[in-house]
Amino acid sequence: MGELKEEDVLKALSKVMEPDMGKDIISLGLVSNVTINENSISFKVSTKNAAMHSRKRMEEACQFAIERAVGANYNVNVEVKGLKKSETAQKVLPNIKNIIAVVSGKGGVGKSTIASNIAVGLGKKGYKVGVVDADIYGPSVPMMFNCQHYKPMSKQVDNKQFIVPAENYGVKLLSIGFFAELDQAVVWRGPMAAKALHQLFFDAHWEELDYLIIDTPPGTGDVHLSIVQSLPLTGVVVVTTPQNVAVADAKKAVSMFKMDNINVPVLGIVENMSWFSPAELPDNKYFLFGDNGGKNLSDSLGIPLLGQIPLIQSVRESGDAGRPAVMQQNTPVQKYYLDLCDQLIKKVNCRNDELNETKVVEVEYGQPKCSS
C-alpha cells in the first residue's frame, strides 16, 4: 500500500456505526482532527453515549476498522468524547433548518392557536413546515388541523422504523394526543412524557423542513427543559395577552430562557387577544384585557413585538372547525397572521446570518441585537 492519506482513514472509519444514532460516524460528521505520522494515526471521535464503557467500545471499533483497512503497522490513537444533547439532535435532525418553540407563561392565552396559524402561514409563504404538539396537558393542535382522528403509522427507512406524521394544509403534524383516545386524559409523569416527545422529534419521518414549530405546555417545567436540552432550538416565541397577570407570567417565561444553563434566543413576543372587534363594527376596538400589555413588555425587555392579534369571533370558529384563521382569504385576520409570520421570518434570518458570520453578537435576554 502506498502513502496513507486522510481519505483512506475516513473511508475505513465509514464502516464504524454510532450505535445510538443509527448511522456511520463519517456521514454523521463525528470524526475530526485526523493526523497521520510515520507510525501513528490520531483522530477525535464524538459519540452520543458519554459513558466510559461506550467510549471504550467506540475506541476499539475505530482501531479495528483502521487495522482491517490498512494493516497493523500504525499505532491508532483515538480520543472519544460525548456529544451534548443539542449537538446530538443537530446530527440526527440535519434536514430541519429551524426549530421554534411557541411558549407561554400561563394557559388560556391562545398559544396553540398562534402556533397553528404560524405553521400554516409559513406554509402559505412556500416554506416546508412541521408541527409537534408537545402540550401533554391539553393537546389541541390536532383539532385545529382537523386531524384528531389520525392514528400514527410507521414507515421503514434504512432499516429503521419511523413514525409518519399527519398532514393537512401543507403542514406535517405529530401530537401527543394521537397516542390517546379523544376523551382520554394523558396522565404521564415527567420521564414518560420526555420519552414520548423524544420519539416525536427523533423517530418521525419529517424529511426536509424549513421550520419545525413546537407547541409547548403552558408555564415553565419538565417538558420545556427536555426540549431545550435535546433540541438545537433556533429560538422561542412567547405568547401573552395584554392583562397584567398574563404579562407577569410571560416575563417569567422570558427569564427562564435567559438562564445561563438554557440561554435560548427569544425571537419575539406575540400579544394575543389585543382587542375585540365585533363583526358588525370591524373598525371598532374594545380593549377587554387591557391595552398594549404585550407591547409594554416588549419595550421593557428590549425584545421585538412580532404582532398583535385581535380577539375576533372568526378566529375561534376557525379553530373549532379545524381550519386555521390564516386561511381566511383576503381578510384582516389573515393579514395579521401573515404579517406576524413575516416578522418571525425576519428575526430567524437575522439570527442565522449572525451565527453564520461567526462574530460576537451582543445578547440581551438571549436575543441577538437585530435591526428592526
Q: What is the pLDDT of residues 201-227, one digit of tens each?
A: 888 999 999 999 999 888 777 777 778
> Residue 49's pLDDT is what?
76
pLDDT at 362 over 80: no
User: Between the ranges 16-20, 293-297, 311-315, 352-356, where is the mean pLDDT highest?
Assistant: 293-297
> Residue 58's pLDDT is what?
93
Pairwise pLDDT comparison (331 vs 229), residue with the higher score: 331
Strands (E) across the chain are located at 17-18, 23-24, 31-36, 40-47, 75-82, 96-104, 129-133, 153-157, 160-164, 166-168, 171-175, 209-215, 235-240, 266-276, 305-311, 363-364, 367-368
- pTM score over 0.85: no
pLDDT at 124 over 90: yes
Measure the CA–CA gap between 117 and 121, rounded to whole angstroms.
Answer: 6
Task: Map grid coordinates 386531524 to a residue.
Answer: 147
Task: List pLDDT tens digits, range 267-317.
Answer: 999 999 998 988 888 888 899 988 989 999 999 999 999 999 999 888 888
pLDDT at 97 over 80: yes
The distance of Cα 310 from the centroid of its chain, to the nearest Å, equals: 27
Mean pLDDT of 102-106: 90
Query: Among 102, 138, 64, which Cα is nearest to 272's?
Result: 102
> Residue 149's pLDDT is what?
87
Is 74 strand, coil or helix?
A: coil
Task: Map grid coordinates 451582543 to a residue.
Answer: 362
> Residue 185's pLDDT is what?
63
pLDDT at 358 over 80: no
Least confident piece of the model among 20-24, 114-118, 358-362: 358-362
Q: What is the mean pLDDT of the chain?
A: 85
Least confident piece of the model among 31-35, 207-211, 214-218, 230-234: 230-234
Q: What is the largest CA-CA distance in the chain?
A: 86
Go through the domains of the chain in sequence order and give each one's CATH number.
Answer: 6-82 (3.30.300.130), 89-368 (3.40.50.300)
Measured in residues, the chain has a length of 372
> Residue 357's pLDDT is what?
59
> Residue 151's pLDDT is what?
87
Residue pair 246/106 in contact (Cβ under 8 Å)? The answer is: yes
pLDDT at 139 over 80: yes
Buried b (16+ CB within 10 A) or exposed e, 189-212: eeeebbeebeebbbebbbeebbbb
17-18 and 23-24 beta bridge pairing: antiparallel
pLDDT at 369 over 60: no
> Residue 372's pLDDT is what?
44
> Residue 228's pLDDT is what?
80
Task: List pLDDT tens digits, range 46-88.
Answer: 987 778 888 999 999 999 999 998 888 889 999 999 887 556 6
Q: CA separation (Å) from 154 to 22, 157, 162, 204, 292?
A: 17, 10, 5, 9, 46
Least confident piece of the model among 80-89, 110-119, 317-326, 362-371: 362-371
Helical H runs in 286-365?
A: 293-301, 313-321, 332-356
Report the share of the chain in percent with pLDDT over 90.
Answer: 43
Measure the CA–CA gap between 321 and 50, rounded to whole angstroms.
Answer: 48
Mean pLDDT of 13-21: 85
Strand partners, 131: 173, 213
Q: What angle do CA 140, 143, 146 make, to 5 degrees?
A: 155
> Given pLDDT bands bounded at 50, 70 and 90, which one contains residue 199?
confident
235-240 and 367-368 beta bridge pairing: unpaired
